[in-house]
Amino acid sequence: MLFNSFEFLVFFIALVIVYFSINSKYRWMLLLAASYYFYMSWKAEYILLILFTTAVSYFCSIWMQSAETLPKRRRILIFSLVVNLGVLFFFKYFNFLYDGVRDVLSSYSIQYEYAGLDILLPLGISFYTFQTIGYNLDVFYQVRKPEKHFGIFALYVSFFPQLIAGPIERSTELLPQFYKEHKYDSQRIFNGIKYIIWGLFKKLVIADRLVPSVNEAFSHTEMYSGSTMLFASLLFAIQLYADFSAYSEIAKGLAKILGYKLMDNFNHPFISKNITEFWRRWHISLSFWLRDYLYTPILFSKKKWGKWAIVYSLLITFTLVGIWHGTRINFVILGLLQAVALIFEMFTKKFRKKLSKAMPKGIYNRLSMIITLIYILYSFSFFKAKTFQDSLNISKSLFSSLFDYLNLKNFILNMGYERFLFTLLLVLVFILSDQWIFKKVKEEKSSLANSLILFPFLIACTFIFGYFGEVEFIYFQF
């Protein structure tokens, strides 16, 4: 069930009514059943996978607790990691070598075909696997004790608002919440609804409207100039941001209505002045997870290398970020671009500080934002490009035809039938008002004017300007 579907609306309203009617002792059962039902609505067999991951993690953690020595604990941890990552690896990367090799070879006009198995990737597997691994690591590092209650642990792994596309929650933050009683609170429920309204607006009025133009540009990279591809990358960045942050905010709103607090996943990433800051504002739950569970342990295991430990750790972490996104070489490049930027920023910190003092603050900040944005757009072009050849085309045209405005003009005119200019107008208004509106969304107690005018206005805009063909959320394929 997609969040923006009628079935989900009915499902959720029914759930809320039952949730607040029954004794809070039994609510975890209701939520677990609802979460499994939600997951099975995509494909019934998925339930076996999530039960398997849940069981392995649950038993390994309890086992770890009773292990007497550190090496034994470590062995149990590695076992749980191998099993859980193995499942993830199997579904995601079975075709990786085949796809990757074939991709690179075809750009040199060598056709390499082999009938590999095409295994369908279960929805959400990257997200709940990471969330579960985080739990196992927390138990290993003795940050928390293992969860004894299997039902509540199963709920932690499968909690439906964040099951399919995050935010990836910490066991120390989310698990305890399932033990607390959450009373019916109309103010809190309205606050949750505000998140959902804003999420649906972003998805239907901004993200989905950009789909035709972005797909058109990235399907014909050989036809479009550098200027057009840069513009298309900008649109893609906005589409991805609107789509993914919408999902995260709807998740947060749904959880809030039920009384649970999920973390913020996005914090206006495009005002970042450098890539380091960008990753503190974009897909926050993933980057913080990586920082705490991957980057930091690797870094400190090589602390004798000093600065080079950081380089080493960044390279590994961000290559894995790339691979987490997908099986194509483009995603690896995406990851490496981040690592390179972060390493560069680390080594030039003092120099950049001196530079910022040498010019007026406003100019330095704006320049930083523009450079960061362009770097991000270039990285994102690897995210969206379908094949390695496409990325090569894009990179080539960015250098050769960056100022070909005629090509860009024709692209815009050709998209006209999709009411593209109006879409751009909506996008512009969105960019200018995003921060202001999100502040009102986060407010604990909105004024009557905002409650009865701004949010109904957003709903009306969604009705009138929304795109209502069926379009799935982008991050579902992860």
List residues with catalytic annotation. Answer: 325
User: Cβ atoms within 10 A of the Cβ of 37, count?
Assistant: 14
Alpha-carbon distance 324 to 340, whole Å? 18
Whose Cβ is closer to another protein: residue 188's or residue 442's?
188
Min. distance of Cβ 74 from another protein in angstroms?
Answer: 10
- What one-letter code names the amino acid at 19? Y
Whose Cβ is closer to another protein: residue 135's or residue 467's?
467
Whose Cβ is closer to another protein: residue 190's or residue 476's?
190
Whose Cβ is closer to another protein: residue 323's or residue 458's?
458
Q: What's the first-to-final CA gap in the chain, in angstroms?
A: 16
Min. distance of Cβ 312 from another protein in angstroms?
Answer: 12
**Cα dihedral across residues 175, 276, 366, 235: positive or negative:** negative
Question: What is the DSSP secondary structure assignment for residue 359, as one 8-state letter?
Answer: S
Q: How many CA atoms lie within 13 A of 421 on its CB side?
A: 7
Q: Which spans in 273-387 are helix H?
A: 275-281, 284-290, 296-301, 307-325, 329-347, 349-358, 361-384
Distances, alpha carbon 453 to alpha carbons 199, 250, 446, 447, 465, in Å: 17, 20, 11, 10, 18
Q: Which residue has the tokens 């959902």?
A: 196
Min. distance of Cβ 219 from another protein in angstroms?
Answer: 19
User: Cβ atoms within 10 A of the Cβ of 25, count?
Assistant: 8
Whose Cβ is closer to another protein: residue 117's or residue 449's?
449
Min. distance of Cβ 22 from another protein in angstroms?
Answer: 18
Residues of this chain that bind another protein (CB under 8 A)? 70, 137, 141-143, 186, 190, 276, 292, 295-297, 299-301, 303, 306-307, 309-310, 313, 346, 349, 417-419, 421-422, 451-453, 455-457, 459-461, 463-468
Min. distance of Cβ 158 from another protein in angstroms?
Answer: 26
Alpha-carbon distance 390 to 395, whole Å? 9
